[in-house]
Amino acid sequence: MIPLPLPGDDDAAESMARMLRVDHAGEYGAQRIYAGQLAVLKNDAAVGEIRTMAAQEEAHLAEFNRLLVARRVRPSALLPFWHVAGFALGAGTALLGSKAAMACTVAVESVIAEHYANQINRLPQSEAALGATLTKFRAEEMEHHDTGLAHGAEATPAYPLLTAAIRRGCKAAIWLAEGV
Ligand SMILES: [Fe+2]
Ligand SMILES: [Fe+2]
């Protein structure tokens, strides 16, 4: 989601800063969601799969940590909130069962994959390396999405309601983290 440009907000450096800030916040939140799931689903059959996804989120976050420093972009001021909200979303859905946790993954990753696709389309030609990074991460988010479906996400009660609510929350979080 791209908020309407504000006066003085339209230079390339500022739009790149917003882009990296929201991606960093998103990967930070993703890592916290999987941490919340793992805290609850200690002995579930899906734990191995969730650990694999969590390890990829760690790598995504590490890359955005590096990019924020390299490009002198401040992180989202809401990181303490994403810390708690991400964990609560992961743990809260996992408490409903591993299929609900997988439904959460499907919902979150579908929004993130769309978000990365939008960014990749908007990237200037001079940002080929960043484009390759985003393309790789997007492919991994799509794998997470498909892993969620393969583990019975759609069998969770109230799947359409649950995923619609989580998708709305993620879109609101993206909108917030671009600016704040
Ligand atoms: Fe990620
Ligand atoms: Fe992911």
Give the whole-angstrom CA distance, residue 137 versus residue 143.
Answer: 10
Residues whose CB is less than 8 angstroms from the CB of residue 170 and which lie 6 or more positions away in sequence, other chains included: 107, 108, 111, 112
CA of 8 relative to ligand 2 center, distance in Å = 33
Q: Domains along the chain?
A: 12-179 (1.20.1260)
Residues whose CB is less than 8 angstroms from the CB of residue 164 and which lie 6 or more positions away in sequence, other chains included: 107
Give the whole-angstrom CA distance, residue 72 versus residue 14.
Answer: 11
Residues whose CB is less than 8 angstroms from the CB of residue 177 and which lie 6 or more positions away in sequence, other chains included: 21, 22, 25, 26, 76, 78, 82
CA of 55 relative to ligand 1 center, distance in Å = 9
Residue 1's pLDDT band (cuts 50, 70, 90):
low
Q: pTM value?
A: 0.89
CA of 109 relative to ligand 1 center, distance in Å = 8
Amino acid at 44: D
Give the whole-angstrom CA distance, residue 56 versus residue 38.
Answer: 14
The helix or strand, by DSSP H or E, that contains position 157, with its residue range, turns out to be none
Per residue in 34-52, pLDDT (tens digit) is 999 999 999 888 899 999 9
Residue 7's pLDDT band (cuts 50, 70, 90):
low
Tell which residue, 37, 19, 15, 17, has the closest CA to residue 147.
37
CA of 108 relative to ligand 1 center, distance in Å = 10
CA of 54 relative to ligand 2 center, distance in Å = 8
Cβ-based burial of 16 (10 A; exposed 0-12, middle 13-18, buried ≥19) = middle
Per residue in 50-90, pLDDT (tens digit) is 999 999 999 999 999 999 999 999 999 999 999 999 999 99
Give the whole-angstrom CA distance, residue 110 versus residue 102.
Answer: 12
CA of 136 relative to ligand 2 center, distance in Å = 11
CA of 141 relative to ligand 2 center, distance in Å = 4
Secondary structure class of 151 (helix, strand, coil): coil
**φ and ψ at residue 93, rounded to 5 degrees:** -70, -35
What percentage of residues in the chain have a pLDDT greater than 70? 94
Per residue in 105-131, pLDDT (tens digit) is 999 999 999 999 999 999 988 999 999
